[in-house]
Structure 1
Amino acid sequence: MAAETVCAYEIARRGQWSGPAETVTLSYDDRFLRRKRLTSDDGTVFRVDLPEVTNLEAGDALILTDGRKIAIAAADEALLQVTGPGLTRLAWHIGNRHTPCQIAEDCLLIRHDHVLADMLAGLGATLMPVTAPFTPEGGAYGHGRTMGHSHGPEDHDQDHDHGDHHDHSHA
């Protein structure tokens, strides 16, 4: 009979836990989950079964049913480093496309995307491919990422204007 897989039902956020922990290294997309089978960097197989879809950030920890902790690490990913004059303006154009963006003092980091690269170059940006962990800014409405505007029936209790002053296309 095979041993039962341990499970993680809860999260301890960065700064709210301590002690020894294994690590699981996940991409930006993989850190957005509810139920999934994962393997830690040390080979521990475990199941994640959270009450809702959750954004995990580097430094958070999953608490296993046997009491162990699995710390979340951000994986290296193919990114574009955006620099140049008018960095604030460039950030606005990235945000206007509901694109996740990591903001540093002297540059912006986005996931590699040739369409955005062409747009940003046309606006005067200097782009350099880099490989690094991607930890973009969280959403304005709470912990973790925002999912843009879905405009499904469940979203229309939001109190914001849907005028023609921003583009929802993802060109």
Structure 2
Amino acid sequence: MDLPKAHTVRHGHDADDHVTLTYDDRFLRRKVLTTGGGLRFLVDLEHTTSLNAGDVFVLEDGRLIAVIPAAEQLLEVRGNLTRLAWHIGNRHMPAQIDDGRILIQRDHVIRDMLARLGAELRDVEEPFTPEGGAYGHGRTHSHSHGHEHGAAHAHPH
């Protein structure tokens, strides 16, 4: 049986169904997803795309599937945010900048570093929508700090 296909993403409202995706899962080009209502469909985009709340997949038959950011296990950072943001950014960590706090993905090495820098830290579980790239689009990719990783880190989009 052929799955319905989505070749287009746009900003939209009044969707017919939704998919709930983590930050990492909202970066895709081709993947089978299942909606909250149980519909399986194939995402087949021309380019790898970073999706956010308010985006919708447009299925070939015109149905709209809304993208909803999933709650994730995050680290809330408070304190001298200018200094702490510099250290987080220097490690290429995706960061959501809110009024009075920064949210980052949990990482025990970064947690230890921030604690030593005097940050107030708290585990939270909520949707994660970090800042885009330098020109308001694209992604910053975190690097694993618990094990060795390959040399290629640049991901321009």
Instruction: Give the 4+ runs in structure 1 shifted more than 3 A.
Output: 146-152
8 Å contact kept, 1:83–1:127: yes
Question: Gaps spanning 5+ residues in structure 2: where?
Answer: 143-150
Q: Partners in 1 of 2:26 and 2:127 — Cα distance? A: 12
Task: Read off the aligned partner of 1:62 and give its amino acid letter.
Answer: F
Aligned mate of 2:15, from 4, 12, 20: 20
Q: Partners in 2 of 1:22 and 1:144 — Cα distance? A: 26
Instruction: Give the match for residue 36 of structure 2.
Output: 41
Aligned mate of 2:6, from 5, 8, 12: 8
> What displacement does 1:144 show?
3.2
Aligned mate of 2:45, from 47, 50, 60: 50
8 Å contact kept, 2:93–2:141: no
> What displacement does 1:59 show?
1.2
Q: Partners in 1 of 2:141 and 2:111 — Cα distance? A: 21
Q: Answer yes or no: is 1:60 the counterpart of 2:52.
A: no
Correspondence 1:92-103 to 2 at 5 A: 92-103=86-97
Instruction: Give the match for residue 105 of structure 2.
Output: 111
Q: Partners in 1 of 2:5 and 2:38 — Cα distance? A: 14
Instruction: Give the match for residue 167 of structure 1.
Output: none
Instruction: Count the aligned residue pairs.
Output: 147
TM-score between the two structures when normalised by the length of structure 1: 0.80
Task: Read off the aligned partner of 1:49 and give its amino acid letter.
Answer: D
8 Å contact kept, 1:37–1:47: yes
8 Å contact kept, 2:4–2:41: yes
Instruction: Give the match for residue 147 of structure 2.
Output: none
8 Å contact kept, 1:82–1:128: yes
Task: Read off the aligned partner of 1:27 and give its amino acid letter.
Answer: T
> What displacement does 1:96 show?
0.6
> What displacement does 1:151 show?
7.1
Q: Partners in 2 of 1:80 and 1:43 — Cα distance? A: 31
Question: Gaps spanning 5+ residues in structure 1: where?
Answer: 156-171
More strand by share: 2
TM-score between the two structures when normalised by the length of structure 2: 0.87
Percent identity of equivalent pairs: 55
Instruction: Give the match for residue 132 of structure 2.
Output: 138
Q: What SS does the corresponding residue of 1:90 show, helix, strand or coil? A: helix
141-150 vs 19-28, which moves further: 141-150
Aligned mate of 2:122, from 122, 125, 128: 128
8 Å contact kept, 2:51–2:67: yes
